[in-house]
Structure 1
Amino acid sequence: MYETETKKKKIKMLLKIVFPIFITQVAMYLVTFFDIYMTARYGTDDLAGVSIGSSFWVPVYIGLAGILMSITPIVAQLMGGKKRDEVKETLQQGIYLAVMLAIIVFLFFLFGTDFLLGLMDLEPAVAQVAAGYIFAMSLGLIPLFVYNAMRSYIDALGSTRVSMFISLMAAPINIFFNYLFIFGNFGFPELGGIGAGYASAITYWLIMFIAMWIIHTKKPFASFAVFNGWARLSLSKMKEISLIGIPIGISIFAETSIFSVVTLMMSTYGTITIAAHQIAINFTSLLYMLPLSISMGATILVGFEVGAKRFRDAKQYSWLSVGTAIGFSFFSACILFFMREQIAALYSSDPAVIQLAVQFLVFAALFQLSDAVQAPVQGALRGYKDVNVTFVMALVSYWVIGLPVGYLLANFTEFGAFGFWIGLIAGLTAGAITLSIRLVLIQKKIAAK
């Protein structure tokens, strides 16, 4: 990364950073995407089971992995402030934290899955697939968390293309092992939806080892020698990572978990509704990778400029990111609205599932603009290391506004299951508005000084 003088150069730098991040996010998301897609081709019960399992797995994993995202603004500001000597210890402590978080999550799922699934009125076949999928995925927690820490470090150095090339390997590896374990090809056991979990775990281990090899041997990472001379566990450094990371993790958890909670609440409507809802969520999440990537790019660039005390440039990067995401959101909305029947048919051949999924996709198209605003605004705020108020706003928007509105509409009006989607739109819109106000206030505060 380097200083940019004009808006034209800033846009070029933003796209240079964001495009590889987008490919990386899509590649990593495709692991879950193909779990859902290939399981849908195996059977409706297995699709519902994997949907329920991922509804527990995804928010917990993303929320805690979000803590490790704090490595990005920390390292970006260190590089902007020309403090290279502190980068190595930051990553090492981040890896320590990653392993500890992975163990905590593994124990949570090991002892809590049966209890959580027991709270739901699931068909026995669906519950069995959900439990097996969660356990299998948990075997890949350590490499997944460690890779997230290393990726945050790689991206903070501006080497987002490296993360892109590593992550591009994930999807074909996962598809190959899904083909073996879901359908029982080449003599492997036919495990259905549970096999998708084992395939993903194997994929995460391979990706972690590839990332470690690149960081240890290739430029510019080798010069930091992060795997040589490991520092002892530093409570002060862990505290720095956690103080920034925990609010990031909670805000991400607040956003992602509301989608999972809605999926769990829809279990009362039956297997068909769960499957149709999951199709809409799965494809919408794929499109969300673009504003999310712009958000991560904003964190890197804003953090770099803030570290260098170039606050005017940081402000310009913030709003360029928002404008870029809004532009792409109209394209995403058009895909969801005009191609909704084709999208639904990609996942399932069940007419009832397709018909309901088509209706859910209309609502998904409606919240594209809100997603396009709130994601990059959050990314910019993380670049400023402003995370505490942000996560409070996220909690209020999604859980105090979004979920209650959805619950009331679903249970006390004729909207039924569609009421939950209206609630999601309300929560995302509230988040977009409040977070934008916060960003303006932070920038005004800095300008006043």
Structure 2
Amino acid sequence: MSYQFSKYETHYRNLTYLGVPIIIGQLGNLILNFADTLMIGRHSTNELAAAAFVNNMFTLVIIFAIGFTYAITALVGTLYGQEKTHRIGELMKSAVSANTCMAIFLSVIMIILYLNVHRLGQPEELLSLIRPYFLIQLVSLPFVCWFNTFRQFTDGITDTRVAMWVLIGGNVMNIFGNWVLIYGHFGMTELGLIGAGLSTMISRIIMAAVMVGIFFFGKKYREYKKGWSLGRIKYADFKEIIVLGIPLALQMGMETAAFSLSSLMVGWFGTESLAAHQVMLTISQLGYMIYYGLAAAVAVRISNFMGQRDYTAVRRTATAGIHLVFLLATLTCTPVFIFRHVIGGLFTDNATVVSMVSMTIIPFMIYQFGDGMQCNYANAMRGTANVRPLIWIAFIAYFVVSLPLGYLFGVVMGYQLIGVWYGFPFGLTIAGILYYIYYQKGLRKIEASSK
């Protein structure tokens, strides 16, 4: 046992060192959503339901955009392992261009969705709240793309603390802005849901500006800036980012779609079901953000080792990662299960919503280990740049398994919200198993081709 532990001890330590700041940063995103949900829910149940619908639609495209930026981590991480500093700076010019194009593409899609929002079967009384909040979220979308472009750069060079501090500062700003604008403090008009949207938008713009400023004016990034200045946008770099980024974006987008599109089904069951669904999504993000933060460190470390062609270290990093993810899953699930009957009361005084939340926590508990497994091995595949299998695996797991089962249990069999959530454990577990198989298969091919 001591020998087995000694093989992974260095990797446990390094993954923790890199992963904890990413986890804190990921939790910063959760706190932002948590604060919005908590403060909006205290203001109005209808506003909470409207926020649930809009946030879930935007979560889908934001996760897709973030997945696209994850190509940067793999490329920068490999170059960092090879100590090619100027080349990283040059690559970033193409990365910013590619992600700006992605921001434009996603904005067009969301404009089309906005023009058809009345056709999506949501309660009529929510539409007057949904529309203005939707437009505010739309304005902030490009800034999310730019922030994450530079965040993946800092993560790729193992400087994961930078984004952590920026996210913490942005979330403090957002929570304070919520308090001022939602409830009308300091002489401001009480804006409710609109105030929450404005506060989030402002914080996202400032966070993106800070990350850009750090890259161009931070002393420790001088050599990367020099590579940016001397380099140019290269078609080969632009293409490689797209080739790696699209599968990652689709994989993360399809996973998120299993949750976000389920909001459409839940909306058919009424406002209280939709409000409970939003509360559960916020709770479920706790585990996901923690697992994905640690798994992102797995991708960084593996990409560094891929640059050095140290495949033994690649394997041990992935194994150490799954050990740590399962430990985090246990630590995360335990208090949620213990306090399942009261946790919904943090968000709303509506007794029906609180009761729905307590029952929905059971399927949430069931899928945690499958979720942790798929996070770890999807990121292991990202680190090795073996990303194409992610697309069809995600499609099968989430669109062939998870969503249809959610419809079967929730709509056809009549279990409503609870039934929709019982579709998730099947899809996430299947995804985790298949990612593991294809990570192993892809790495064996890489090792064989390097001999």
CA contact (8 A) 1:92 1:230 kept: no
Counterparts of 2:115 and 2:177 in 1: how far apart (Å)?
26
Counterparts of 2:420 and 2:336 in 1: how far apart (Å)?
18
Aligned length: 444
Q: Aligned to 2:385, what secondary structure does the other structure show?
A: coil
Q: Report the more deviating stretch, 330-339 or 372-381.
A: 330-339
AA in 2 matched with 1:51: A
Counterparts of 2:239 and 2:106 in 1: how far apart (Å)?
20
Q: Aligned to 2:120, what secondary structure does the other structure show?
A: coil
Q: Does 1:285 align with 2:281?
A: no
Q: Aligned to 2:229, what secondary structure does the other structure show?
A: coil
Per-residue displacement from partner, 1:33-92 (whole Å, max 9, x unpaired)? Answer: 211121111110000000000111111121023111110010010111232221012111
AA in 2 matched with 1:53: V
Counterparts of 2:166 and 2:363 in 1: how far apart (Å)?
34
AA in 1 matched with 2:33: T
Displacement of 1:128: 2.1
Match of 1:126 in 2: 126
Counterparts of 2:231 and 2:446 in 1: how far apart (Å)?
35
Counterparts of 1:404 and 1:111 in 2: how far apart (Å)?
25
Per-residue displacement from partner, 1:96-116 (whole Å, max 9, x unpaired)? Answer: 22222222222332343130x
Match of 1:156 in 2: 156
Displacement of 1:291: 0.7
Pairing 1:54-65 to 2, within 5 Å after superposition: 54-65=55-66
Match of 2:90 in 1: 89
CA contact (8 A) 2:66 2:148 kept: yes
Q: Report the more deviating stretch, 229-238 or 351-360.
A: 229-238
Displacement of 1:273: 0.5
Displacement of 1:346: 0.5
AA in 2 matched with 1:382: R
Match of 1:252 in 2: 252
Pairing 1:33-432 to 2, within 5 Å after superposition: 33-115=34-116, 117-225=117-225, 229=229, 231-432=231-432
AA in 1 matched with 2:183: F
Q: Report the more deviating stretch, 77-86 or 181-190.
A: 181-190
Q: Show structure 2 runs of 5+ residues with no match.
A: 1-5
Per-residue displacement from partner, 1:385-432 (whole Å, max 9, x unpaired)? Answer: 010112210111111111111111222324333221111111111111
Q: Does 1:7 align with 2:15?
A: no
Counterparts of 1:261 and 1:141 in 2: how far apart (Å)?
19
CA contact (8 A) 1:333 1:366 kept: no
AA in 1 matched with 2:18: I
Match of 1:19 in 2: 20
Q: Report the more deviating stretch, 29-38 or 235-244.
A: 29-38
Per-residue displacement from partner, 1:246-276 (whole Å, max 9, x unpaired)? Answer: 0000000000111011111111100000111
Displacement of 1:227: 8.8
Instruction: Say if 1:99 and 1:344 are closer, same or farther in 2 by CA, change over 3 A.
Output: same
CA contact (8 A) 1:120 1:267 kept: no
CA contact (8 A) 1:106 1:138 kept: yes
TM-score (normalised: structure 1): 0.95
CA contact (8 A) 1:11 1:320 kept: yes
Q: CA-atom RMSD, angstroms?
A: 1.7
Instruction: Say if 1:105 and 1:226 are closer, same or farther in 2 by CA, change over 3 A.
Output: farther
Displacement of 1:445: 3.0
Per-residue displacement from partner, 1:298-347 (whole Å, max 9, x unpaired)? Answer: 11000000110001101100111111101111222212211112321100
Per-residue displacement from partner, 1:356-407 (whole Å, max 9, x unpaired)? Answer: 1111122211111111111011001000001011221011111111111111
Displacement of 1:226: 5.7
Counterparts of 2:16 and 2:168 in 1: how far apart (Å)?
19
Displacement of 1:230: 7.0
Q: Report the more deviating stretch, 366-375 or 232-241.
A: 232-241
Displacement of 1:286: 2.0
Counterparts of 1:388 and 1:98 in 2: how far apart (Å)?
19
Q: Show structure 1 runs of 5+ residues with no match.
A: none
CA contact (8 A) 2:56 2:263 kept: yes
Counterparts of 2:416 and 2:110 in 1: how far apart (Å)?
31
Per-residue displacement from partner, 1:144-189 (whole Å, max 9, x unpaired)? Answer: 1111000000011100111111111111100111122222222323
CA contact (8 A) 2:91 2:228 kept: no
Counterparts of 2:133 and 2:246 in 1: how far apart (Å)?
27
Counterparts of 1:274 and 1:384 in 2: how far apart (Å)?
39
Counterparts of 1:100 and 1:440 in 2: how far apart (Å)?
33
CA contact (8 A) 1:34 1:175 kept: yes
Counterparts of 1:187 and 1:234 in 2: how far apart (Å)?
51
CA contact (8 A) 1:216 1:226 kept: no
Counterparts of 1:146 and 1:347 in 2: how far apart (Å)?
31
AA in 1 matched with 2:76: V
Displacement of 1:228: 5.8
Counterparts of 2:163 and 2:37 in 1: how far apart (Å)?
24
Q: Aligned to 1:151, what secondary structure does the other structure show?
A: helix
Displacement of 1:129: 1.8
Q: Aligned to 1:355, what secondary structure does the other structure show?
A: helix
AA in 1 matched with 2:441: L
Instruction: Say if 1:447 and 1:228 are closer, same or farther in 2 by CA, change over 3 A.
Output: closer
Per-residue displacement from partner, 1:202-241 (whole Å, max 9, x unpaired)? Answer: 0011111222222223343122116963755433211110
CA contact (8 A) 1:258 1:398 kept: yes
Counterparts of 2:102 and 2:8 in 1: how far apart (Å)?
40
Q: Aligned to 1:69, what secondary structure does the other structure show?
A: helix
Counterparts of 1:293 and 1:254 in 2: how far apart (Å)?
19
Counterparts of 2:382 and 2:57 in 1: how far apart (Å)?
26
Q: Aligned to 1:225, what secondary structure does the other structure show?
A: helix
CA contact (8 A) 2:378 2:435 kept: yes
Counterparts of 1:179 and 1:202 in 2: how far apart (Å)?
14
Counterparts of 1:32 and 1:379 in 2: how far apart (Å)?
24
Counterparts of 1:125 and 1:181 in 2: how far apart (Å)?
23
Q: Aligned to 1:25, what secondary structure does the other structure show?
A: helix
